[in-house]
Amino acid sequence: MHVIGNITIYLAFFLSIYAFIVYIFGINKQDQRFIDSGKGATMGIFILASLSMVLMFVLLGTSQFQFEYVAHYTSSDLPLIYKLAALWAGNAGSLLLWTFFLTMYSAMVTFSKKMKRNPMTPYITSILLLNIMFFYLILSFVTQPFAILENTPVEGRGLNPMLQDPGMVFHPVTLYLGYVGLAVPFAFAIASLIVKNMDAFWIQMTRRWTIIAWAFLTLGNVIGGYWAYTELGWGGYWAWDPVENASFMPWLTVTAYLHSVMIQERKNMLKIWNLSLIILSYALTLFGTFLVRSGVLTSVHAFGETNLGAYFLVFMAFMVILSMYLLMSRYQLIKKDTGQFEAYVSKESSFLINNLILLGGTFAVFWGTVFPLVSEAVRGTKVTVGVPFFNTVMSPILLSLLFLMAICPLIAWQRASFKNIKDNFLIPALISVAVAIVIVVMGVQEAYPVLGFTIITFMILTHLVEFIRGTRARRHVTKEAIPVALFRLMIRSRRRYGGYIVHLGIALIAFGIVGANFDVERMETLAVGETLTIGDYTLTYEQLGQRSDGVNESVFARLAIEKHGRDLGYIYPERIFYLNWEEPSTEVAVRSTLREDLYVVLSGWEEDRRATFQVKINPLVKWIWIGSFVLVLGAVFAIWGGRYGQVNPRYTGPERNVY
């Protein structure tokens, strides 16, 4: 098994080198035979990557402790699902997963029907092969997933208890699908620069790929937040941890890109901007991987200090320098026939301002993340940038984005008139102001939540107006029933209305985020029978017990819940002691409603059964998870069954012996 596993890695590495070389020969000589050989090699790499994955799953699932990776991250008592999920618990396994997704995407692009006779396919696949070669170089010579131990241990070390959660099954996979997915539009962009094809072809061909990658990035971040909320026991879902920031930054830049490409398609503008955004997004995925694997910053998500960071830093620098060289060398060609803004108050301008704010947010998060490194290099001491900095900087950015999202659907292209603004925004604005007055009357005095809820209301109303107007216009022509007219309206404009659904999802997420301004927290030590009051809740500590869960032991507390004198049942926070781990794991007890979450953590206990509880009331948190579902639903709706890539590239190249 050791030999077979290593053969799949080494053979795929040399096959990726071969595929890259024959593609270059095929491009230079315009010879179909080389191109076909490269395509075959690309499929062969994917098959070998699949075999490596299957083999690794078998080793993990059957507890083959003679393999270093299996012994380090699993144990015989570990449930099968977590044995398999341990594949992405460490460096070697997670990089194998990354490489598998990269080869999968490469094969899908290469053998796509739309790319079958596309003269740019060899260029695109060559760029992807550069990435594949790098990752196989790492797997072959730096961190080997199939390395074996000199002495086989009787038992493995087991999986970190914090990773024994359903979030471990889904969070890394979705995040990697998003990270790796961005390599596809990047490859298209670089290929377009190489062949000097400066029209919107590469954007139209990669729109679906980009939305899919963005949707997976979104899912990865949300699942990670929910995992942290329910597992770590600190009461929050986003701590502005360096690795969290590393996945958030490309999400911001891709969001900006998805908006700005609409300007290029419609107005032939922002060509350099869009190329720069996709290059930046791709570079940030490599930067995030560098942070996770270098150990330069402390993070609960990091893999620990390794020498992998240097390799990723060099590769990232190489790819960025190559990209910027191509971009600058084609600068005059890109600028040719570029459209111009016609007015400051227009949909185009709102999209551009949206991009600038998103990039400002990206820079703020980047600076807050790397500042400890900068301070250590300059002053010799590492200064930590905490949550207050990020919250202070990002709060106005969030509100600004929400306001722009409220304006974008209804503002006119080219030039918005005063009449257009009054007709579209007067009623939503008046209702939003009324909501603000009601909020203040109800006792909310803080400026941020009042402004936040007002803008969110304004945003939701402007989007509803767009749905209503579209449905009304269709009914006027077709005489269809309202539900039928709405459904067919959305189906005929999937991209547009899918985007609106995404915006509504973001509004719901923002609603939950603003609710954090009203959270309440208490920590108190209680004897059995004593009560704790927090907000409208009264919790009575009734029992401290212990039970066995396989080879693990759990200590749990039972607390009765009352609200306004009404019995709401029981809640059971607990701590789990794992056989192969020194520190117990926290299992949070959460009673969740649309209004608020009652969040209880068992922090500690004494021999006399006195127990210490951390109790929080987190208002509106559930809307974050609901909004995330709506957001992803909108992304899926936007790409499902739509017509994408129905274009031909302007570049054709020499026709001799090519496809």
- pLDDT tens track for 63-111: 999 999 999 999 998 999 999 999 999 899 999 999 999 999 999 999 9
CA dist., res. 28 & res. 44, Å (int) = 23
Residues 11 and 23 in one domain: yes
CA dist., res. 357 & res. 364, Å (int) = 10
Residues 566 and 447 in one domain: no
CA dist., res. 331 & res. 407, Å (int) = 32
CA dist., res. 76 & res. 345, Å (int) = 64
- Residue 594 has, within 13 A of its CA and on its CB side, a CA count of 3
Residues 56 and 12 in one domain: yes
The set of residues, in sequence order, having a beta carbon less than 8 Å from that of 166 and lying 6+ positions away, is 227
pLDDT of residue 171 exceeding 60, the answer is yes
Number of domain units in the chain: 3
Residues 8 and 134 in one domain: yes
Q: Report DSSP letters for 445-471, one per residue.
A: --HHHHHHHHHHHHHHHHHHHHHHHHH
Instruction: Report pLDDT digits (tens) over 310-369.
Output: 899 899 999 999 999 999 998 888 887 666 666 666 777 888 888 999 999 999 999 998
Residues 137 and 22 in one domain: yes
pLDDT value at residue 648? 39
In a domain, 581, yes or no: yes
Q: Which residue has the tokens 């959660």?
A: 165
CA dist., res. 482 & res. 19, Å (int) = 55
In the sheet that holds 520-526, the strands lie side by side as 520-526, 611-619, 596-605, 589-592
Of 133, 159, 185, the residue that ends a domain is 159
| Pair 253, 243: CB distance under 8 Å | no
Residues 440 and 459 in one domain: yes
| Structure letter (DSSP) for residue 417 | -
User: How confident is the model over 514-533, as a mean pLDDT?
Assistant: 93
In a domain, 474, yes or no: yes
Residues 541 and 501 in one domain: no
In a domain, 303, yes or no: no
Domain hosting residue 407, numbered range: 394-517+632-639
Residues 449 and 558 in one domain: no
CA dist., res. 401 & res. 456, Å (int) = 10
In a domain, 458, yes or no: yes
Residues forming beta bridges with residue 614, ordered by sequence position:
523, 601
Residues 137 and 11 in one domain: yes
Angle between helices 387-407 and 494-514 (to 10 degrees): 140
Q: How confident is the model at residue 501 (pLDDT cuts 50, 70, 90)?
A: very high
Residues 436 and 525 in one domain: no
Task: Report the candidate in 602, 571, 572 with the shortest Cα–Cα distance to residue 584.
Answer: 602
Residues 37 and 130 in one domain: yes
Of 139, 159, 179, the residue that ends a domain is 159
Pick from 32-36, 164-168, 265-269: least confident: 265-269
| Structure letter (DSSP) for residue 383 | P
